[in-house]
């Protein structure tokens, strides 16, 4: 794109995937500057930010992507915007949909407007496979029908299509990604894999929704970061790309693998009431991004081994994350603190 220093505006990098992406950028590129904008919701972790502050030409700003003043200030001189910032918990979206509409649609609008005025060279909108809804057979391609089934997924679809409209209407160089469930280091503990790993490290049971029959596709976060990096360079403007792990398992099978890798048995499982509107299966066809040369480097077992090792090595991080978790989460969804 350019040989001079490239400046990225990465939103949401106090959170899971975006923080891994910033590490990825510094590990794979020279001559870069990274600006992070993050509101520090309960999903943002101060220790995640502290770790990133070791890098040169890195600046962190606490603020809201819905705030035009800060977005305008930070956008000046930016080459690439990667918008990860989102209210990202399906469970919370059932409880409080309004904040999802504000950030996942309104915040995307604010970023798109300023990106357009500042003529950024690439705008990556991080969407999700949940915009497709559930699928019982086969896999979603990028042109599949969009039928989100919870307020999180519907809000993300709003941001996804708004970004596309800025490509069509204003020529903004937008690329939209739709990834499957990510796992790896620094994931907030409301997500199933880190919750289960840290519960087991504490000798606590693991709560499985319903009978654990839902099928999810698991993507190791580093493979996701590599895909985004590739799309910044080679993605076509206005296009959507699926990014999946192609590692589909039921939640119960996932639970069994984690239990085994951590030396525990099924007596640690506690079945809890299923979530309303719980999608039964997601599955992505990733042929489109594979044609650009991307492929996963991790299968589920190798990714889980790296993830378990990270949580074992970083008790300070996850113990303080657990303390910060919303008490409503335990009370409303698990019935009691596990
Ligand atoms: N986690 C997954 O499995 C997955 C899968 C597909 C797509 N995605 C998408 O990837 C992105 C990142 O997901 P994640 O799991 O890392 O999320 P996360 O919840 O770990 O992090 C989100 C970050 O965004 C910040 N944030 C929230 N609202 C904000 C606002 N208004 N302004 C600025 N910052 C704000 C939070 O403080 C947090 O640091 C999201 O857009 C999500 O929809 C996630």
The reply to whether 131 falls in a domain is: yes
Instruction: Report the domain count for the chain.
Output: 1
Q: Which residues pair with 240 in a beta bridge?
A: 176
Q: Hey, how many other C-beta atoms are within 10 angstroms of the C-beta on 27?
A: 10
For 257-306, what is the HEC assignment?
HHHHHCCCCHHHEEEECCCCCCCCECCECCHHHHCCCCCCCCCHHHHHHH
Tell me the pTM.
0.95
Residue 103, helix vs strand vs coil: helix
pLDDT, averaged across the chain: 94
Q: Which of 38, 64, 104, 129 is catalytic?
A: 129
CA of 285 to the centre of ligand 1 (A): 23
The reply to whether 111 falls in a domain is: yes
Return the CATH number at 45.
3.40.50.720
The reply to whether 172 falls in a domain is: yes
The reply to whether 56 falls in a domain is: yes
Q: Is 216 in the pocket of ligand 1 (CB under 6 A)?
A: no
The reply to whether 177 falls in a domain is: yes
Considering the chain, what percentage of its residues have pLDDT values greater than 70?
Answer: 95
Strands (DSSP E) found in 44-188: 58-62, 80-83, 122-128, 174-179, 181-183
pLDDT at 181 over 90: yes
Q: Is residue 152 flagged as an active site residue?
A: yes
pLDDT of 115-156, one tens digit each?
999 999 999 999 999 999 999 999 999 999 999 999 999 999
The reply to whether 87 falls in a domain is: yes
Q: Return d(Cα 220, Cα 226) in angstroms, integer.
A: 10
pLDDT of 224-258, one tens digit each?
999 999 999 999 999 999 999 999 999 999 999 99
The atom number, within ligand 1, closest to the CA of 13 reads: 39
Residue reference for tokens 């070791």? 54
The reply to whether 193 falls in a domain is: no
Cβ burial, residue 276 (10 Å; 0-12/13-18/19+): exposed
Cβ burial, residue 313 (10 Å; 0-12/13-18/19+): exposed
Query: What spatial distance separates the first Cα and last Cα of the chain, rounded to whole Å?
Result: 49
The atom number, within ligand 1, closest to the CA of 19 reads: 16
pLDDT for 276 equals: 76
The reply to whether 171 falls in a domain is: yes
Domain of residue 95, residue span: 6-182+220-243
């Amino acid at each position: 794109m350019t040989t001079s220093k490239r400046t990225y505006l990465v939103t949401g990098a106090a959170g899971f995937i975006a923080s891994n992406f910033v590490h990825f950028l510094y590990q794979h590129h020279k001559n870069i500057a990274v600006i992070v904008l993050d509101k520090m919701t309960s999903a943002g972790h101060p220790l995640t930010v502290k770790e990133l502050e070791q890098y040169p030409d890195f600046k962190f700003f606490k603020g809201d992507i819905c705030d035009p003043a800060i977005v305008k200030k930070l956008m000046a001189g930016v080459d690439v915007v990667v918008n990860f910032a989102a209210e990202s918990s399906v469970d919370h979206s059932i409880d409080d949909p309004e904040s999802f509409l504000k950030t996942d649609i309104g915040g995307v609008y604010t970023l798109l407007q300023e990106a357009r005025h500042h003529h950024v060279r690439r705008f990556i909108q991080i969407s999700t496979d949940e915009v497709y809804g559930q699928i019982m057979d086969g896999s979603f391609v990028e042109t599949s029908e969009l039928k989100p089934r919870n307020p999180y997924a519907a809000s993300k679809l709003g941001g996804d299509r708004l970004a596309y409209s800025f490509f069509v209407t204003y020529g903004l160089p937008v690329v939209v990604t739709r990834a499957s469930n990510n796992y790896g280091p620094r994931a907030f503990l409301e997500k199933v894999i880190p919750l289960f790993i840290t519960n087991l490290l504490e000798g606590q049971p693991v709560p499985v929704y319903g009978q654990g029959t839902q099928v999810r596709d698991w993507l190791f976060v580093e493979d996701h970061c590599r895909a985004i990096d590739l799309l910044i360079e080679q993605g076509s403007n206005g296009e959507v790309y699926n990014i999946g792990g192609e590692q589909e398992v039921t939640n119960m099978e996932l639970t069994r693998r984690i239990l085994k890798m951590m030396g525990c048995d099924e007596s640690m499982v506690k079945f809890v009431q299923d979530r309303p509107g719980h999608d039964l299966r997601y599955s992505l066809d990733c042929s489109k991004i594979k044609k650009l040369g991307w492929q996963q480097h991790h299968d589920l077992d190798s990714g889980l081994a790296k993830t378990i090792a990270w949580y074992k090595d970083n008790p300070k991080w996850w113990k303080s994350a657990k303390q910060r978790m919303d008490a409503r989460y335990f009370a409303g969804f698990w019935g009691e603190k596990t």
